Chain A
Amino acid sequence: MNLVRTGPPDLLRRFVPTPYKLIHGTTTFETNDLELLDAIDCQAIPEEARHFAIRIVRDTCADALHERRVFESDRLCLISIGSYTLFIVDSEEQRVFAFLASDFPAARICEELRSALDARR
């Protein structure tokens, strides 16, 4: 029995590289989309969130439906915009993880990030 092994699948896109990094004081950003890095205004980050690590993956799925829902529980906040844009704010570990739909405007990233971080204040 010969099986061709190509490595475990990454169906969740957990291991998408985020090679573009920005460090501003104690806030760090990582992303796979250079346009996002350019759009981030570090001065717009709330004072309370200045120690956060933020990792954002630009996803491959497009999404025209921009219904916004916020789910809160314990120390976590999940913001879901449409079907493919997600922010997870973990206030205890001071980190934000996000997936952005491919058509999510880079210019909106600061607004949504601020909103996500505000949600846990």
Chain B
Amino acid sequence: MKHTAVLQACFAEHNVTLNLAGAHCRLRTNSLAVVESLAAFAAPEPQGPELLLDVYATQAADVREPAHFRGMGPFVIAEYGANVFLFDVARRKVHAWITEAAARDREFWAEQWLPVIVGVAGIAAGVLPLHSACVVKNGRGVLIAGESMAGKSTFSVAMAKQGFELLSDDWTYIHRGINALFARGFHLPVKLLPDAAAFFPELHELRPAPTLNGEIAYTATAGRLGVECTAHCKIVAMLFLQRSTAGWPTFTIAEPEFARAYVENSVERLPPELHELQRERTRLIDGICQLPSWHYQYCGVPSEGAASAASFLNSIGGLL
């Protein structure tokens, strides 16, 4: 045992409200640097359920290590070296002990910690994280789902070059509104596998690099890719993407049971202690299953696949 360090909660000098991809949070912290790092997410007083996010900046040395996650009962722990997050999901609370250097690291907050916070505890604020891309036209969004390596990111960028706006290429955050579901994203850079450079010349000036999950990929902003992006939309449809090696693009109706299986199998199970949140999650999944949904199978280059999909979606009266 090297040493024992006791890090207690400090008096919270700063108290602000945030909107994290639709999840309303009340941030309490002893660090002005944290408030400044999260300034872009400041929001008015929330009307609905909210998460309490207590962040204590400590004097510990800033050691960054790969994230280690564990969960038991209503708790989840995420450790990033010296930075520790304890999620008390049942009480709608997140406790974080972070270094001063981490408190100031806006990129790390935006690209890693905030998606993790909403990913783990978002449902406590009525937000369901869904592993899908989302493209938007006229404020109406289409979720693009598919197995890993189905090409969701490449396809969603190609759709954005067909007159859609890009909301997300990977994780989309769903919440309920009046008689509709709504989606939000974190405006993160798009991750594109190396073969995407064949389709998007904008990538030629970049170099692929290892991402958090170990994949080698290009990381490009919407601006770099020359596409428009948006932060939120009403969700109106869902596509289940599948690449094929030959044949014409085909659309077949996806049954609600398929959509339910896809969504339920792509999210972490919740323990019995979180039954109320499970009910909220089920209501959101029920809403997703009621969306018009299609399996979309195509081969060839993404631009052609996206053009066919855009033409199909535009042809459905009243959808977009």
B2 at the interface (CB under 8 A from A): yes
Residue among A15, A69, A95, A98 having the largest count of chain B Cβ atoms under 10 Å = A69
B4 touching A70, Cβ below 8 Å: yes
Q: Which residue of B lies closest to A98 (CB)?
A: B72
Q: How far does the alpha carbon of A68 sit from the alpha carbon of B242 in the complex, in Å?
A: 48
If the complex has contacts A70-B7, A84-B68, are A7 and B1 also in contact, measured as CB distance less than 8 A? no
Q: Which residues in A have their C-beta under 8 angstroms from that of B267? A: 8
- Contact B4 A71, beta carbon cutoff 8 Å: no
Which interface residue of A3, A73, A86, A99 has the most chain B CB atoms within 10 A?
A73
Contact A88 B295 (CB under 8 A): no
User: How many B residues face the partner with a CB closer than 8 A?
Assistant: 44
A99 touches B95 (CB 8 A): no
Q: Which of A11, A14, A83 contacts B72 (CB 8 A)?
A: A14
Within 8 A of B (CB), among A70-96: 70-74, 76, 78, 80-81, 83-84, 86, 88, 90, 95
Within 8 A of B (CB), among A1-54: 1, 3, 5-15
Q: Using known A-B contacts A7-B265, A76-B88, determine if residue A55 contacts B7 with beta carbons closer than 8 Å.
A: no
Contact residues in B for A57 (Cβ distance below 8 Å): 72
Q: Which chain B residues lie closer than 8 Å to A66 at the CB level?
A: 1-2
Specify which of A3, A65, A68 is in contact with B147 (CB 8 Å cutoff): A3
The smallest C-beta distance from B9 to any residue of chain A, in angstroms, reads: 4
Chain B residues near A6 (CB, 8 Å)?
Answer: 265
What is the minimal beta-carbon distance from A8 to any residue of chain B, in angstroms?
5
Residues from chain A with Cβ under 8 Å of B84 in the complex: 69, 71, 78, 80
Tell me if B46 is interfacial: C-beta within 8 Å of chain A: no
Query: Please, how many residues of chain A have a CB less than 8 angstroms from a CB on the other chain?
Result: 39
> B1-28 vs A: 1/0 string, CB under 8 Å?
1111111110000000000000000000
Are A10 and B2 in contact, with the CB atoms below 8 A?
Answer: no
- Complex partner residue of A71 from B7, B88, B297, CB under 8 angstroms: B7
Q: Give which listed residue, B70, B97, B240, contacts A99 with CB less than 8 A.
A: B70
Q: For residue B304, which residues in chain A have a CB less than 8 angstroms away from its CB?
A: none
User: A66-B1, A68-B4 are contacts. A1–B95 as well, Cβ < 8 Å?
Assistant: no
Partner of A97 from the list B6, B56, B73 (CB cut-off 8 Å) is B73
Residue B75 lies at the interface, judged by CB distance under 8 Å to chain A: yes
Residues A8 and B72 in contact in the complex (CB < 8 Å), given A1-B297, A71-B97, A78-B77: no
Give 1 or 0 for each of B65-98: 1 = CB within 8 Å of chain A CB: 1001111110111010000101010000101010
Pairwise interchain contact A88-B86, C-beta atoms closer than 8 A: yes
Inter-subunit contact B86/A76 (CB<8 Å): yes
Cβ of B2: which chain A residues have Cβ within 8 Å of it?
65-68
Q: Which 10 A-B pairs have the closest CB atoms?
A: A12-B71, A97-B72, A73-B9, A14-B71, A73-B95, A1-B295, A70-B6, A67-B2, A72-B8, A68-B4
Chain B interface residues toward A at CB < 8 A:
1-9, 54, 56, 65, 68-73, 75-77, 79, 84, 86, 88, 93, 95, 97, 147, 240, 242, 254, 258, 261-262, 264-269, 271, 295, 297
